Chain A
Amino acid sequence: MTRTNLNRFGTLIAFVLLCIGFSIAAPAAFASPANVFNLVQQMATLAIVATAATLVMTISEFDLSVGFSASLAAVICFVLFGQGYDVWLAVPAALLVGIVGGAANGVLVARFGIPSFVATLALGTILSGFAFGLSGGQSLFQSVPDGFKSLARGDVFGIPVLGFWIVAVLGVAAFVLTQTEFGRRLRAIGGNAQAARLAGLPIVRDVIVTFAIAGGLSALAGLLLASRLGSVQHTMGEPLLLPAYAAVFIGTTASPTGAPTVAGTLLGVAITGVMVNGMTIVGVEPFVQKIMTGVIILVAVLLRRVGRAR
Chain B
Amino acid sequence: MHKSIAALGLASILALGVSSGALAAGEKVSVITPFLAAIATGEMIEAFKAKAAEYQWTVDVVDTAGDMAAFASRVEDATTSGANAIVLVSVDPTQIQDQVDKAKAAGVPVITIDGAKNASSVLNVTSDNYVLGETMTKFLFDQIGNKGNIVRFFYSAHPGVHQRELALDAALKANPEIKQVADHYVAVPGQVDDSRAAMDAMLLANPGDGAINAVWAAWDEPGIGANLAIEAAGRKGIVIAGIDGNPQAIDLIKACGAYIGTVRQGFGEMASIAAGELNTILAGGSAKADELYAPVELITRESLGVTCP
Contact = CB atoms under 8 A, between A and B. Distances in A.
A93 to B, nearest CB: 22
B37 to A, nearest CB: 11
B69 A229 contact: yes
Contact of A10 (B2, B36, B73, B94): B2
Interface stretch (B9-17, B168-176, B191-199, B249-257): B9-17
B97 A137 contact: no
Interface stretch (A52-60, A116-124, A198-206, A278-286): A278-286
Interface residues of B, number: 54
A194 interface: no
Contact of B12 (A17, A141, A228, A307): A17
Interface in B59-81: 60-63, 65-70, 72-74, 76-78, 80-81
B98 A137 contact: no
Dominant secondary structure of chain B at its interface with chain A? helix
A139 B8 contact: no
How many residues of A sit at the interface, in one of the four size bands?
35 or more
B97 A280 contact: no
A72 to B, nearest CB: 16
A25 interface: yes
Interface in B1-38: 1-5, 7-9, 11-16, 18-19, 21-23, 36
Dominant secondary structure of chain A at its interface with chain B? helix
B185 interface: yes
Interface in A286-310: 286, 288, 292, 295-296, 299-300, 303-304, 306-307
B162 interface: yes
A284 B13 contact: no
A138 B156 contact: yes
Contacts, number: 176
Contacts of B155: 137
Interface string A196-226: 0000000000000000000000000000010
Interface string A33-49: 01100100110010000
B67 A253 contact: no
A42 B73 CA distance: 6
B248 interface: no
B107 interface: no
Interface in A226-242: 228-231, 233-236, 239-240
B1 A139 contact: no
B183 to A, nearest CB: 10
B5 A280 contact: no
B159 interface: yes
B286 interface: no
A111 B157 CA distance: 38
B4 A283 contact: no
Nearest to A306: B3
Interface in A1-49: 6-7, 10-11, 13-15, 17-18, 21-22, 24-26, 28-29, 32, 34-35, 38, 41-42, 45
A132 B82 contact: no
A41 B69 CA distance: 11
Contacts of B74: 280
Given A137-B156, A229-B68, A282-B22, A24 B16 contact: yes
A279 B66 contact: no
A6 B97 contact: no
B50 interface: no
A165 B70 CA distance: 19
A286 B16 CA distance: 14
Contacts of B14: 292
B47 interface: no
Contact of B96 (A34, A229, A296): A229
A18 B12 contact: yes
B56 interface: no
B246 to A, nearest CB: 22
Contact of B22 (A236, A277, A284): A284
Given A38-B80, A41-B76, A139-B92, A286 B157 contact: no
A280 B95 contact: no
Interface string A266-279: 00000000011111
Nearest to A142: B94
Nearest to A28: B82
A300 B21 CA distance: 28
B5 A10 contact: yes
A141 B18 contact: no
B95 A229 contact: yes
23 contacts: A13-B5, A17-B12, A22-B16, A38-B77, A41-B76, A42-B73, A137-B156, A138-B157, A139-B159, A231-B96, A233-B157, A239-B69, A253-B1, A276-B70, A281-B77, A282-B23, A283-B23, A292-B14, A292-B15, A299-B7, A299-B11, A300-B4, A306-B3
Interface of A: 6-7, 10-11, 13-15, 17-18, 21-22, 24-26, 28-29, 32, 34-35, 38, 41-42, 45, 132, 136-139, 141, 149, 153, 225, 228-231, 233-236, 239-240, 253, 275-286, 288, 292, 295-296, 299-300, 303-304, 306-307
The 3 closest A-B pairs by CB, nearest first: A283-B22, A10-B1, A21-B12
